[in-house]
């Protein structure tokens, strides 16, 4: 068996020194990448409950943090549309577009407000939502339906190396990374920043899930090609980076 050793260079903060000698695309005044991936004009969109109208998620922060744990067993109960709205907003909800339209403030921190992620959802049990694959549109606070494949949950579990609890959840959050959103500003340091940003997003999901009597489990074990194929992304300019199934516990 071949012995592989991890390359730790991209995790070291001294790359910031090297960044000073690199002309970033932002410094070159190249166009900034879109804040959100485009979607078909005729796509079916589902309005979510507006953040100002949310009534769920009232559990005190101290209690939510104290109770936080990973859950791999879920009940057959469905999430309500309001609960899903809350989870989407808590993880990638938008506060405002700023800096002349090149960045946005969201409910989670991100280096340079670059927010390099898109949120895909494999929905199995959400009230009033047809099971299928969706994408959360943070700019509009809506869901965009991508497909309604009946075998989607099974394919998701298979892509996650047979972890059946992933596909049996009420909804599975799958985040993709679009590296150039961060690279445009931070060039060679971007891999470290994207990894840090991903952690912020999933931790918010953990806390928000606890606040509605649900649970999640962060999953990094998946077949990259299979998961990218399931989402319909190219695997280069956009690729899956994190999975987190959610269900009532």
CA–CA separation, 189 and 178 (whole Å): 15
Interval 35-61: pLDDT, tens: 999 999 999 999 999 999 999 999 999
Q: Nearest CA to 37 among 117, 111, 97? A: 117
**What's the predicted TM-score (pTM) here?**
0.95
- The kind and range of the H/E element at 131 are none
Q: Are 133 and 120 in contact (CB under 8 A)?
A: yes
The domain spans of the chain are: 43-248
Q: Band of the pLDDT at 243, cuts 50, 70, 90?
A: very high
CATH topology of domain 43-248: NADH Oxidase (3.40.109)
The overall average pLDDT reported for the chain is: 94
DSSP assignments along 140-181, one per residue: TTEEEEEE--TTHHHHHHHHTTT-HHHHTSSEEEEEEE-HHH
Q: What is the mean pLDDT of residues 119-123?
A: 98
Q: What is the pLDDT of residue 60?
A: 95
Q: What is the mean pLDDT of residues 66-87?
A: 97
Q: Band of the pLDDT at 13, cuts 50, 70, 90?
A: low
Neighbours of 205 (CB within 10 A): 24
Interval 163-205: pLDDT, tens: 999 999 999 999 999 999 999 999 988 999 999 999 999 999 9
- Measured in whole angstroms, the distance separating CA 206 from the mean position of its chain's CA atoms is 12
């Amino acid at each position: 068996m071949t012995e592989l050793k991890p390359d730790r260079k991209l995790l070291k903060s001294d790359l910031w020194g090297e960044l000073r000698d690199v002309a970033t695309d932002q410094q070159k005044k190249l166009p900034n990448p879109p804040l959100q991936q485009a979607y078909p004009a005729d796509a079916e969109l589902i309005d979510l409950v507006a953040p100002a109208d949310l009534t769920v998620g009232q559990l005190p922060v101290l209690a939510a943090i104290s109770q936080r744990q990973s859950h791999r067993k879920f009940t057959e109960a469905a999430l309500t549309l309001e609960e899903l709205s809350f989870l989407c907003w808590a993880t990638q909800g938008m506060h405002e577009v700023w800096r002349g339209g090149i960045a946005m403030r969201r409910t989670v921190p991100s280096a340079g407000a670059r927010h390099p992620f898109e949120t895909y959802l494999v929905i199995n049990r959400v009230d009033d939502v047809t099971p299928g694959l969706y994408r959360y549109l943070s700019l509009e606070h809506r869901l965009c339906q991508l497909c309604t494949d009946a075998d989607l949950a099974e394919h998701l579990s298979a892509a996650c190396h047979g972890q059946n609890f992933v596909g049996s959840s009420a909804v599975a959050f799958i985040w993709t990374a679009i590296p150039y959103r961060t690279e445009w500003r931070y060039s060679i340091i971007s891999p470290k920043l994207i990894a840090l940003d991903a952690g912020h997003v999933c931790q918010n999901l953990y806390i928000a899930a606890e606040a509605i009597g649900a649970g999640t489990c962060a999953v990094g074990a998946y077949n990259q090609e299979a998961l990218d194929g399931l989402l319909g992304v190219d695997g280069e300019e956009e690729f899956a980076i994190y999975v987190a199934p959610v269900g009532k516990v």
